[in-house]
Structure 1
Amino acid sequence: MFFRLGKYAAILSLLLLLSGCWSQINFDQLTVVSAIGLDLNKQGQLEVTVQLVNPTLPVAAGGGGQQRRAIATYAATGVTIESALEVIRKQAKKSLFFSQTKVILIGERLARQGMDDMMDFFWREPNQNFNSWIMVSRRPIKEVLTRSQELQAVAADEWKAYFKSKRYKPTSGGIQLYQFLPRLEQTSFQAAVPGMFLVNSTGSKNMIMEITDLAVFRNNKMVGWLNSEEAQIVSWLTELSSMGMFEIATKDIKSVMFDLDSIHMAISPVYVNGKLKMNVRMKTKASIKTSTELLDLSEKQTTDLLKKELSDALTASIEKTVYKLFRSYKSDVIGFGEAIHRRDAKSWKKMKNNWNEELAQIDVQTSISIEIVKSGLLIDGIIKKDDSR
């Protein structure tokens, strides 16, 4: 009896010496997915495209060797994302590693059709990178991921760097997967996604792409576009950016470009005679970047005129953007519903089920405070004083 128990104990103790890697995948079986694209093909089927990173080959002795392309692109159709990826795994003969995915591209046709049935994959994939950046493309996704020409060898690396750049933040409207997925299901704060457009084609193989404009979603469907100026307004309203460029042109001033900095914006719900309105308050510092006019900035009258013209132009742009979102698209991508929920949870509970329709009835009132700073060297009054000496 004791001999038998001792034998079993010895066998069990041998398990402690076994390696714990029996269920692991070797590195040479993995390939990194730098970008994944979702689109509809000509037959209306779901088409999944992945941009895979190729490890760099060593140069052969004598320097005569060649390095293969930094990326390889595979595409397949399927009823679901996972079924299409299974075909790609067989084509690539590798396991796909999503933890380093930089970008997720969505075709415009698919975005307008609705994405409710396929987002489940991104919630369930255990190695998903929720920091991936989202874009909507007007061009076929397979074409974009295969032919895009960027300075970096891997196009997705260039796109990620663009979204992280402070310079392009005001107009890029960057949104990451962890933000995008919940907003497809929210009513109080819906999704807006940067667009990718073809600038020109440098030949039969390469395309120059531009990240611009903003795709507006109502729940899980795309409903329209905002241009770059409107996208910048949305970035300010959502506090994604606190800087930007803004140009004014009036009958008195042909063109003045302002560099706006230290932008603070606040949106709040107010009731006027029982009607809900959105109050927008903006405070910013503005410096003149370029001007086609001779401006005497030593004169208070000139600076007051510039403040008024800039304030009027900003007010018009803000209200035009908000009304386009609320009345044309019936979409709340600036989080006004969230502001109501924080201020008055009971009122929000009553209106949230019909919020997309309620938006069309909301008026906007805007107040702007501007400080003009950094006038530069070309101040007419100072130049005259220097010349008189």
Structure 2
Amino acid sequence: MMHVQEAVTDDWLHGAKESVLSTAVRPELIMERGEGMYIWDTGGNKYLDFIGGWAVNCLGHSPKALQQALASQAGTLVHASPAFYNKPMLEFSAQLTEVSGMDRVFFASSGAEANESAIKLARKHGTVCMNGAYEIITLQGSFHGRTLATMSATGKPHWKQLYAPKVDGFRHVPINDLDACFAAVNNNTCAIMVEPVQGEGGVHPLDEAYLYGLRKICDMYGMLLIFDEIQTGMGRTGKLFAYEHSGIMPDILTLGKGIGGGFPLSAMLTLEKHNLFQPGEQGGTYSAQPLAMAAGLAVLQELIEQDLTANAATQGQYVMRRLTELSSNLPIRNIRGQGLLIAFDLPEGLAPVVTELCLDKGLLLNAPSPSTIRLMPPLIVEEAHIDAMLAIATDALMEAASHVG
């Protein structure tokens, strides 16, 4: 039976290589189904998932709440066009604005779209309130998406010349350097855009004093403060939103990844005083689509009812404690993060070797750089899952270190 499965998988992989556009390096396996903390490939191999769909599957794989919400909504109304209100849109927008402390929300399908919306709103603010100011200050090492504008906002050095010419109007400054940020402000600056914790950049939290300073700068000059919480929002850091750790409120908040629990969904939220778009200036065919709204509502309610933000905080502390214990005998250093967005460093070049060995051993981990391992499991994770993950990762790290040595 296994030989038949392997043959089918080989056929599918061959077909994929001929038809799927090459945009990523993927292992020779096909994921088929998932449940809770685990995912299975077409060969029947089981993997403990500490990538969580790239911080997306906050409720785990195929959660019952999401299944039921999508099935129910699919039997009622799938799409009505963005020209009309729909019931789950009104329910979800009311709940999301209430829990976020924001007043207005625009829904999209991806994090890049949400950030693109934030950039547009900041520039509209610059036009209306700041004599045409349009520049936005962002951070080195940041990641804001893959549209031309969000790639231009992103602080990845090797992206600087990719798809040139880039969208003008972004100035990049070092992380946690308030003097550098202040020096970058000029008459054309309309906003500062940051991730409270840089995720793709390797999990680097912004200092609370730095965030406070950014808020003061924006207030001083009438600029907008944008928090990109695509990766940190929806309970990931142990609070429903990462800004709650400092209590420093942004003018614009963007959400993605976990907001749909696996269904394509994102949001840009703002305060009433920044409700500046005129009809036709911003939109999207799938904005506030009923299926997405039903998914988002189900995820938000489940996060709150199951108190998964508290679980993220508790389990995140457990991960950090266990990693600290292991660091006395293993080459693990610079353990950092918030909640269940955690990273640690290894000797240069070891991280991708470890993740590949872990894959062979039934564990999914991410290496955002050759020296960094990032953990972003579903928020339903328990201590037993963490212990299993660390046992496999330790095994892989010792094996990788012995080969390198």
Counting helix residues as a fraction of each chain, which structure ranks higher?
A: 2
Counting strand residues as a fraction of each chain, which structure ranks higher?
A: 1
Q: Normalized against structure 2, the TM-score is what? A: 0.23
Report 1 or 2 for greater relative contact order, CA contacts < 8 Å, sequence distance ≥ 6: 2
Q: Normalized against structure 1, the TM-score is what? A: 0.24
